[in-house]
Chain A
Amino acid sequence: MPSVTVSVKWQKELFPSVEIDTEQPPYVFKCQLFDLTGVPPDRQKIMVKGGLLKDDGDWSKLAVKEGQRLMMMGTAEEAPKAPEKSTLFVEDLPENEQGVIEQGFTAGLMNLGNTCYMNSTIQCLHSVPELRSALKSYSAGAGTDMDPSSHTLTLAARDLFGELDSSHRAVAPLRFWTLLRSKFPQFAQQANNGAYMQQDAEECWTQLVYTLSQRLRPSSGETREATLKNLFGVDISSRIKCAETEEETEEAETVYSLKCHISQDVNHLNEGLKQGLKSELEKTSPSLGRSAVHSKESVITRLPQYLTVQFVRFFWKRETKQKAKILRKVDYPLVLDVMGFCSEELKNELKAPRELLREQEDREAGLKGKRKIEDGPAPSSMDWSTTEQGSPTGIYDLVAVLTHKGRSADSGHYVAWVKQENGKWIEFDDDRPIPQREEDITKLSGGGDWHTAYICLYKSRVPKKE
């Protein structure tokens, strides 16, 4: 039997003496190697001169020399198979879904000519998930009963919010704008050249929230409490005291925003709010039978899920006949505690949940070593104060800021700065969403010609359910 002894190198191993029977086809040799390595013959690749060893090759032509080192390659492993469920790529998605997923935030709104006041308002309100879901469930047939213009505006808002959620490029709020103008003619004011004029965003905000609060009621119809009132409404009770007669009257009302008054000695939101809750007014005193100066002191009796704070930055300047702006720097915190403005009863109510919240946070800080701001699942139920969703604590996190840049309310530029659900801040400058850092958000407190906070939206922090 003519044979040649060769050494075979396989991976990092070396089989020093393998005999080749040169009369047998190479397949036999491969079977020998199968014994040694466990690699099936059809997976073996043996390098010889001029290529790979073929199963039916002829040894004599290959001129294998005694003691030659051959190299074998091959493994018994299976070829990797594609997973059954193929990976979904962003690039495969329809174009309108790409944006949201890739960017992690929603689209911007196109400026239709001095509509930044409206755009920024919509972006701020759009950041409230509860409002979004409430709008979503608003149906076209929800009553055209008495106020068709409010109804259509609400429908337009619903559609616009939907578009914002799905689109990856800037949305043009044409229909909404037209309806807004027709519902509130003050926004349809035109300049000499026929273009619509810049408006006060706060006015837009107030009107919009008012309209929506009229339309959006829980579908169940059980409670007559307005949805928006739950979300944004602050109940306050005021004691009005006549300066001359010491007479006192009590009054309760629901407001949709707290005012932060800006005067010489206001440097911080807290001071402004305190001033806002105290005011003097002239009204007819029943006992005196004439108008007299009354002092009004208010306290909060119920807290909303979302607290709107408006900086009273504009005042009517008679000389220039415009709403001039107070540039004074008023700092506002990322976390706002309104306990101090609450009534005694409410304070008592708040105590337990606050305790609970602090405990939870301490525990988390202890476990994770860092303080994590809790933005737990958004409550879906509307009547939250009475339910298991968690009770108000009086502690609020900043979620959106509407800023103004310029010197009067009817000019300049409005921009919305909104915190996304993932904790990132986005500046919505009309059609351009720009990511921002959290520390830059607090720098919008005024004092110069930079963007100055006009309306702040705070979200209540609630203890998690145990």
Chain B
Amino acid sequence: MAPDLKSDSSAPQPPAKPAKDAKKKKDEKEDLSEEDLALKQQLELYVERAQDSDPGVQRLALESMRQEIRSATSSMTSVPKPLKFLRPHYGTLKAFFQKMPESELKMYMADIISVLALTMSEEGERESLQYRLLGSKGDLGSWGHEYVRNLAGEIGLEFQKRRSEEEYISSLMDLVKQIVPFHLQHNAEPEAVDLLMEVETLDILPKFMEKANFKRTCSYLLSCASYVPELEDISVLDIAYQIYSKFEQHTDALRVALRLGNLQYARATFAACKDLSERKQLCYILARQSETVELDDEIPMEDEHRDVLQDIMNNTKLCEGYLTLARDLDVMEPKVPEDIYKAHLIDGRASAGASVDSARQNLAATFVNAFVNAGFGQDHLMTSPAESSGSTSTGNWLFKNKEHGKASATASLGLITLWDVDGGLPQIDKYLYSTDNHVVAGALLAVGIINCGIRNDCDPAYALLYDSVTKDDPAVRIGAIMGLGLAYAGTQKEEVLELLTPIISDSRVGIDVAGFAALSLGLVYVASCHEDAAQAILLAMMERDNDDPLARFLCLGLGLLYLGKQDAAEATFEVVKTVNEKISNYCQVTLESCTYAGTGNVLKVQKFLSQCSDHLDKGESHQGAAVLGIGLVAMAEELGSDMALRALEHLLQYGEPNIRRAVPLALGLLSISNPKVRLNVMDTLSRLSHDTDSEVAMAATISLGLIGAGTNNARIAGMLRSLSSYYYKDPSLLFCVRIAQGLVHMGKGLITLNPYHSDRFLLSTPAIAGIVAVLHACLDMKAIILGKYHYVLYYLVLAMQPRMLMTVDENLKPLPVPVRVGIAVDTVGQAGRPKSITGFQTHTTPVLLATGERAELATEKYTPLSSVLEGFVVLRENPDYVEDHLN
């Protein structure tokens, strides 16, 4: 083969050295085997005959040539022999073609020239396409893949040209309609999709879809969606939705509908799905995305079923499932902060056991305790069993916190009984009667926390909170307002709007109350583009002087209203430009970063980067928000976030202090709850946590917690331990270290903060809203988290979700089955049926899934009703399953 190839490559060389070339050609002739020589002579004969005047001879010659070309199969690396031998005659044939009269034979000739053009055509001439259009229609595929692929490429170019010159394109379309089915039949779905996207007629795709190819096609479409410009991505997803609907893949269709944010589609999918078990699965998916479909009479079903489905959709099963997981993994035993600090592992350097309580360290312990025991319903500080007997042990810990610390301590009860509305509320009840306003505020907040992500027909959160919103004490008000925001995030509950708008617009209330009200409104109406809500916040911004650190919550509330809605915020953006200049810049950046959150829009990232390159006077804070914006926009997909990481590294080198302070937070956002994938992020943060600028160090420390959140990652835990001894003398930094330790061990490692779920396909808006709220608060650590508003940390609860795979049978009873859990492999557009996970281990459900991991069923006995194995998955018994007797 090798010498053959060599001669191939030397053949088309331009005659740079004629003498040598001629000699080579001579050699070549001699080199040819007898067989090849015969073929060559044969073909030459055909060419000659094809130019014969007799049509019969012509036809025979063309037919034979065609036979030769088609039968030639050769590897991709070398030109098929017939093509090679016909090459010298390309010009002759072309010339003859011009002279031929219009006839069937001319078309045949055109076909052959079109094929020859594959290797001969000059760059950019698109002769292959040109002759194909002149040739006989149909039977494209018989000329081989390479030809079709080449043709498709030329069509794309030609389409662009014709579009710009406004020429007729229908002849191209005919060709497209031949090529697409050919590709689809030959497992080349990506090529088919690419071609259709190139000629902007993706909408005809669904009618080519068949059972055999729709899955691969859709997976390609879905992964394309992240990389096409805005608006086009909507149409791509729309097509995918149609295809899934066509093949009754309801769960996938629902996911696409949710990605589109199109609740009509979601509803239509739900209505189209008749199977009860599948509907249950749909409800689980809706619950995970905290969306609902109203189960009214238009979707016919039995009342009994309606209740069951409503229950699932309300997320009331979450607590139960989470506790089942915890019991299965045997982690029910409560942990105390000391179990997390592991001071005994720090050799000799730990601070000597202090004899007097430190309010700040106790507050840190409160948070650690809350995060670690989140959702377990029991702990040693707040809910110890002695409590029921009226003993003082609980009260003691509560009162070991100082003033506003008591609010966080009481609220931690909400986090401990997270999602358990029936079991948690009674425990909080008594605190509502306390005479201490901080305790009451905390209890109100706790009510909100418990109900976070859970819907309830009785609406206990609203009933308990609405009264306190208008109380006199600002602490109590903030507690109630924040509680409402957490409990109703993403629900667009109108009563909350009515309750909060007067507070926001009332210029007599403090900026703190107004700020939290705006933030809560932003959460409740997250990504809704609600006009009235936006108006209220804008008005407040114009009337106030906004010099307070908490004014940022006004901006953020406004931004959340348009979260991910891209240009829907344009009008608001113009208004923001006119408000008080102290806050205008910050607000503009926040608004812009929120509206493009999770879109991966490169232009926006560049804009934020250029904002960061300015060197401003002191007191300007919007650059920090711009840095967060980079993270927020770029977190959409892997490539973008990798690029953003590099850009952030630059900012770290050259940025002003206020930019450097935000960089660790953006790093944390980009790999939240995901310590493994990008190890260098962990190293960077570890380095920054020793930075001389203590605010950089604090932000880096918190971010270490964020990237390890809920993973129990031993390396981060070790880093934090050594940080705790390094900063033993600095109470503020030590506080941050403790919080980070709590985050890493969140839910004893069963909880993730990652706002992306369903194979990183869906973004939960309340989750990202909660994370952004905390990150913005971290921009001014001293005033907010280290000040008296530390309870903003509880906004993280919006993003907290069990990172589990829980399999249930059709009656929703837990059903342990073996599953393989491994690192997800990107199989989109790969040939054959590649493995979707690598390095897997087999476990029995329920199991934990880390970010970037995927599970697949290891048994044929059941079929999952969802294609993505995450969260709750309903299993159906496989009727075709035959028990393997060998086992």
Contacts and interface: CB of A to CB of B under 8 A. Distances in A.
A73 B451 CA distance: 14
Contact of A88 (B356, B426, B429, B436): B356
A12 interface: yes
Interface in A59-103: 69-71, 73-75, 77-83, 86-93, 101-103
Nearest to A425: B348
A90 B361 CA distance: 10
Interface stretch (B15-23, B182-190, B456-464, B854-862): B456-464
A92 B359 CA distance: 9
A172 B349 CA distance: 26
A11 B417 CA distance: 13
Given A45-B463, A75-B429, A87 B357 contact: yes
B357 A79 contact: no
Given A79-B433, A89-B357, A89-B358, A437 B425 contact: no
A126 B30 CA distance: 103
A347 interface: no
Interface string B418-450: 000011011001111111100100000000000
A131 to B, nearest CB: 22
Contacts of B464: 45, 52, 73
B466 interface: yes
A105 B352 contact: yes
Interface stretch (B85-93, B397-405, B559-567): B397-405
B729 interface: yes
A437 B349 contact: yes
Nearest to B440: A79
A420 B462 CA distance: 56
A317 interface: no
Contacts of A71: 456, 458, 460
Nearest to A438: B348
Nearest to B495: A50
Contacts of B430: 75, 77-80
Interface string A113-138: 00000000000000000000000000
B395 interface: yes
B306 interface: no
B77 interface: no
B463 A52 contact: yes
Contacts of A52: 463-464, 467
B3 interface: no
Nearest to A437: B348
B439 to A, nearest CB: 7
Contacts of A86: 399
A213 B426 CA distance: 69
Contact of B399 (A70, A78, A82, A93): A82
B2 interface: no
A8 to B, nearest CB: 10
Nearest to A91: B359
B347 interface: yes
Interface-centre pick from B348, B349, B729 (highest chain A CB count, 10 A): B348
A83 B348 contact: no
Contacts of B457: 69
Contacts of B399: 82-83, 86-87
Given A102-B351, A420-B352, A424-B348, A12 B423 contact: yes
Contacts of A75: 426, 429-430
B124 interface: no
A48 B422 CA distance: 16
Nearest to A421: B352
B352 A80 contact: no
Given A75-B426, A103-B352, A80 B359 contact: no
A185 interface: no
A26 to B, nearest CB: 14
Given A47-B460, A80-B434, A87-B399, A104 B423 contact: no
A421 to B, nearest CB: 9
Contact of A104 (B354, B392, B459): B354
B358 A102 contact: yes
Contacts of B434: 79-80
Contact of B728 (A51, A92, A435, A437): A435
Residue among A70, A81, A89, A91 with the highest chain B CB neighbour number at 10 A: A89
A174 to B, nearest CB: 25
Contacts of B619: none
A73 B459 CA distance: 12
A11 B358 contact: no
A436 interface: yes
A9 interface: yes
Contact of B459 (A47, A101, A437): A47
B390 interface: yes
Contacts of A91: 358-360, 402
B879 interface: no
B98 interface: no
A87 B434 CA distance: 18
A48 B394 CA distance: 32
A424 B458 contact: no
A407 B671 CA distance: 52
A91 B359 CA distance: 7
Interface string B346-389: 01110111111111101000000000000000000000000000
21 contacts: A11-B422, A45-B464, A47-B460, A51-B466, A51-B467, A69-B457, A71-B460, A79-B431, A80-B434, A89-B358, A89-B402, A90-B356, A90-B358, A91-B402, A101-B354, A102-B354, A104-B352, A422-B352, A437-B347, A437-B348, A437-B349
Interface of A: 9, 11-12, 43, 45, 47-48, 50-52, 69-71, 73-75, 77-83, 86-93, 101-105, 420, 422, 424-425, 435-438
Interface of B: 347-349, 351-360, 362, 390, 392, 394-396, 398-400, 402, 422-423, 425-426, 429-436, 439, 456-460, 462-464, 466-467, 495, 725, 728-729, 731
Given A78-B390, A82-B399, A438-B348, 6 more contacts: A52-B463, A52-B464, A80-B439, A83-B395, A103-B729, A104-B352
